Amino acid sequence: MNISVSRIHFPVTTLGPGKRIGIWFQGCSLRCKGCLSPDTWQVKDSHFTVAQLIDQVQEWLPFADGITISGGEPFEQPDALLTLLREIKQRFKGNILVYSGYEWGVIEDSVAQMSPYIDALISEPFNVEIPQTLMLRGSDNQRLHLLTPLGKSLFKQYQRVVTPEDKKLDLAFDDQGRLFLAGIPERGDMQRLSQLLALQDNTLKQLKK
Ligand code: SF4
């Protein structure tokens, strides 16, 4: 079974409890205005398989508390998603959180087929016009579904407003050495980061003169 993946990373500490393996799917047709991951939109043919993906994350499994699957849009590769979830659950006792930009009514039947592999799921499209105050969500229309007893016990703590003490972002490098952010940035964070990086770049250029 082929799967198109944008990136994988461990540890991610801002997309659910504990240290997590992050798996970002490649390909999303939803095109939410203000999406912070437009690099994951393009559908790309992939010869990468679920078995190869499992091989790559295998070494992290003993150290991971959970896995977060995001995108891109995982439900636009439903067969690969189901196969991945089934294979992971055979090897891993931790919890699984899945993000989708689809409305709950659209994916409800697919989610039921994936039961009980998904412990918690966040649905609904990101909407930049709607305020962002809730944990794990980019806009407050997004809904956190607690789907298993494990999901209920671990994720009910996220049914609340973000506080200044909550860590929101992990900075990480992908396998090509490019910097990326994992987590849910606050509005304006990306602009502030770009300005900071541009400032540092200018400072470095000045020092080299
Ligand atoms: S569903 Fe996610 S990846 Fe797709 S456009 Fe919306 S925010 Fe971006």
How far is residue 85's CA from residue 101's CA, in Å, rounded to a whole number?
A: 18
Atom number, ligand 1, closest to the C-alpha of residue 28:
4
**pLDDT at residue number 30:** 97
Distance CA 48, CA 122 (A): 26
Query: Taking each helix axis from N to C terminus, what angle separates 50-58 and 78-91, rounded to the nearest 10 degrees?
Result: 40
- pLDDT at residue number 207: 62
If one residue of 40, 122, 128 were mutated to test the ligand 1 pocket, choosing by the most ligand atoms within 8 A of its CB, it would be: 40
pLDDT for the residue numbered 61: 98
Residue 173 is predicted with a pLDDT of: 78
- Each residue of 74-95: b (16+ CB within 10 Å) or e? bbbbeebbbbbbebbeeebebb
Mean pLDDT by groups of 10 residues along the chain of 209 residues: 95 96 97 92 91 97 98 96 97 97 98 95 96 95 98 97 86 76 78 67 65
The whole-number pLDDT of residue 205 equals 67
Amino acid 45: pLDDT: 82
Which pLDDT belongs to residue 13?
95
Sketch the domain layout of the chain as residue ranges. 5-208
What per-residue confidence (pLDDT) applies to 181?
79
Position 56 scores a pLDDT of 97
**Token pair belonging to 103:** 């409305």
Is residue 40 within 6 Å of ligand 1 at its C-beta?
yes
| pLDDT for position 176 | 76
Mutate which of 28, 36, 132 to test ligand 1's pocket (most atoms within 8 Å of Cβ)?
28
Looking at residue 208, its pLDDT comes to 66
CA distances from 74 to 10, 106, 166, 207 (A): 19, 13, 26, 45
